[in-house]
């Protein structure tokens, strides 16, 4: 039996809200706008979408909202792409619950952080992923040591890769040396680039996918960059990538959700506001994101 594949350009989808005084923080999830956004991404060549990630503000949603967001993505994408649902949780029982719900609703795969809000040890990390993987869907574990304080090192990933149904790692450490180290120590594990500002470097070192933020803004161009890199067309890939990197760097900053949503606004899509704890960008950050986006747009012939 072939190993399930969660590679390609899968977009960690931003979540639109509409003003509603009766909703949490005065912002209600706009499911229709979200469905339209998921469809736009797939229609522009992206392999799939990833609802309920950090970019999707999963931790600011109610349980009902969180499930409906994933269902909206699954129903919208249908057979035209894959949906990799974020099932992050403080403990394995919560993450497993979200995995079971995703399986019931028809997800193609799962994206899972180590335990959130707790610096888990090796045994706890393994138990966490074992619980999620036991549900039976393909699992992409997510290494984000910046936010979780848990580093899924190549040596630890070699152990995690032995768990049935764990098929990939979203690598967000920012250290491109990890790509080859993971391939050496866990050769059966697909390495997926998780940080937009090292995506070209990661793909050239053998990453097979991009679980991406800024393709919310530039989906067709991002797919083209991915295809050029995977085809070894380095000169063309670099020419496309270099003017975009300043914008892409925001994907690795604390304000990445607000920055990507502003980028969407600047290209005529709807990004809009964020729920707490994320507030609006400072004026300095707004000006810098705008300047970085204008450079990117000019290079693409959009500005």
Q: Which residues are catalytic?
A: 142, 170
Which residues is 86 bridged to in the sheet?
A: 111
Cα angle vertex 86, ends 80, 87, to 5°?
A: 130
SS3 at position 201: helix
Using only C-alpha atoms, what is the Rg of the chain?
18
Q: What whole-number distance in Å separates Cα of residue 6 and Cα of residue 167?
A: 8
Q: Six-digit token pair at 41?
A: 């991404």
Neighbours of 30 (CB within 10 A): 18
- With a CB cutoff of 8 Å and minimum separation 6, the contacts of 212 are 9, 10, 11, 12, 193, 196, 199, 222, 251
The two most distant CA atoms of the chain are separated, in Å, by 53
């Amino acid at each position: 039996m072939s190993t399930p594949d969660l590679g390609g350009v899968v977009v960690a989808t931003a979540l639109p809200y509409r003003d509603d005084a009766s909703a949490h923080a005065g912002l209600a999830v706009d499911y229709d706008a979200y469905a339209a956004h998921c469809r736009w991404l797939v229609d522009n060549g992206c392999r799939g979408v990833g609802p309920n990630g950090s970019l999707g503000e999963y931790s600011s949603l109610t349980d009902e909202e969180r499930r409906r967001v994933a269902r909206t993505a699954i129903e919208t994408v249908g057979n035209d792409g894959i949906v990799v649902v974020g099932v992050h949780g403080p403990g394995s029982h919560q993450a497993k619950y979200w995995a079971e719900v995703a399986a019931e609703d028809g997800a193609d795969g799962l994206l899972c952080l180590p335990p959130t809000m707790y610096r888990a040890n090796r045994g706890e990390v393994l138990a966490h992923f074992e619980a999620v993987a036991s549900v039976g869907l393909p699992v992409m574990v997510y290494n984000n040591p910046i936010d979780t304080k848990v580093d899924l090192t190549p040596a630890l990933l070699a152990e995690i890769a032995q768990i049935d149904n764990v098929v990939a790692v979203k690598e967000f450490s920012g250290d491109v040396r990890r790509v080859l180290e993971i391939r050496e120590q866990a050769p059966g594990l697909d390495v997926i680039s998780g940080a937009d500002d090292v995506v070209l470097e990661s793909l050239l070192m053998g990453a097979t996918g991009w679980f991406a933020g800024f393709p919310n803004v530039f989906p067709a161009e991002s797919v083209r960059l991915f295809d050029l890199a995977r085809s070894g067309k380095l000169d063309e890939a670099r020419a496309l990538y270099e003017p975009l990197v300043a914008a892409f760097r925001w994907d690795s900053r604390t304000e990445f959700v607000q920055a990507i949503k502003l980028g969407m606004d600047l290209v005529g899509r709807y990004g809009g506001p964020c729920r707490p704890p994320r507030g609006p960008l400072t004026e300095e950050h707004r000006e810098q994101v705008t300047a970085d986006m204008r450079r990117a747009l000019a290079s693409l012939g959009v500005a």
